[in-house]
């Protein structure tokens, strides 16, 4: 007995208006599936990586991109710090802000039009 192939025509997308039985030849449910050119394709989920590196706080936002050398880059922020992820490393790239108190910053001499500015920190 010869086997004959049959072609099934499914409509793309998930249809959950009624029950799986009532939808007939339509997709009712799925996980990690997208439709390309009318056909289902497995999105292959995602992969987690254990870096063994810790950072302060919980990440609040993540921005990813590829640089001009097609190298994948990512930065993410916590409430206190900003981090860059490159390869298997995480770098703290938080801008440094320092407040310095200065005393006797400007100096002048009698009869001179020059004003001197000094940045010696006061203790």
DSSP 17-68: SS-TTTT-SEE---SSEEEETTEEEE-------------SS---EEEEEE-T
The answer to whether residue 91 is domain-embedded is no
The answer to whether residue 16 is domain-embedded is yes
Query: What whole-number percentage of the chain has pLDDT above 70?
Result: 92
The answer to whether residue 121 is domain-embedded is no
Across the range 60-82, mean pLDDT stands at 89
**pLDDT above 60: residue 122:** no
The answer to whether residue 30 is domain-embedded is yes
Number of domains in the chain: 1
The boundaries of the domain holding residue 15 are 11-42
Q: Model pTM? A: 0.43
């Amino acid at each position: 007995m010869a086997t004959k192939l049959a072609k099934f025509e499914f409509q793309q997308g998930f249809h959950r208006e009624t029950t799986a039985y009532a939808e007939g030849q339509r997709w009712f449910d799925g996980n990690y599936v997208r439709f390309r050119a009318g056909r289902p394709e497995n999105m292959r989920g995602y992969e987690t990586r254990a870096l063994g590196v810790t950072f302060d706080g919980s990440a609040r936002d993540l921005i990813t991109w590829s640089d001009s050398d097609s190298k994948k880059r990512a930065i993410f922020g916590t409430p206190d710090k900003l981090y860059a992820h490159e390869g298997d490393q995480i770098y703290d790239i938080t801008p440094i802000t320092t407040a310095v108190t200065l005393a006797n910053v400007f100096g002048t001499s009698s009869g001179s039009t020059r004003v001197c500015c000094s940045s010696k920190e006061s203790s």
